[in-house]
Amino acid sequence: MVAVMELGITPHLLAAAAAAGLEPVVCARMRKGLAEIRRHRPRVVLAEFVFDNGFPNRISNFETLLAGLQKECPEARLVAVAFPEDRPHLERLGRRHPIHTVLFHPVDAGALGRALGAALAA
């Protein structure tokens, strides 16, 4: 599993990934995450959705991620983590690109473990 957590990931979330049978490679930047996706071809990608009105030609960090997944690893399942107020922006992207599961902050380990398990089983 590759985890792109630009705002940070807490140890209890890493423990949930391990409990789901995944060995997470954690990246703090999307560019590094895409390199790890190309290198490892993961079955599951966990990524934090970052919306920013200041992006000149996109609405979030996910356009780059979703394009990279389609090209490099189309079979990977994406589990997104977002803030509740960003739901409309994430839903708009979800209509164009597949997102397996969306979890909203604050994310608890149980919910993440179930989402990762479902992504592996899909």
Provide DSSP, 57-98: S-SBSHHHHHHHHHHH-TTPEEEEEE-GGGHHHHHHHHHHS-
7 pLDDT more than 90: no
CB burial of 82-114 (b: ≥16 within 10 Å; e: otherwise) equals beeebeebbeebbeeeebbbbbbeebebeebbe
Please list, in sequence order, all residues whose beta carbon lies within 8 angstroms of the beta carbon of residue 99, skipping any fewer than 6 positions away: 78, 80, 90, 93
CB proximity list for 122: less than 8 A, separation 6 or greater: 77, 100
CATH of domain 2-121: 3.40.50.2300
What is the per-residue pLDDT for 38?
A: 95
Question: What pLDDT sits at residue 8?
Answer: 76
- Kindly tell me if the per-residue pLDDT of 97 is higher than 90: no
pLDDT of residue 73: 92
Provide the pLDDT for residue 75. 94
Helix (H, G, I), strand (E, B) or coil at 56: coil
Rounded percentage of the chain residues whose pLDDT exceeds 70: 98
pLDDT at 16: 87
Q: Tokens 């992504």 appear where?
A: 119
State how far the Cα of 20 lies from the Cα of 15, in Å rounded to an integer.
9
Residues 66 and 39: beta-carbon distance below 8 Å: no
**pLDDT for 11-62, tens place per residue?**
778 888 888 889 989 999 999 999 999 999 999 999 999 888 776 677 888 9
Does 96 have pLDDT greater than 90?
Answer: no
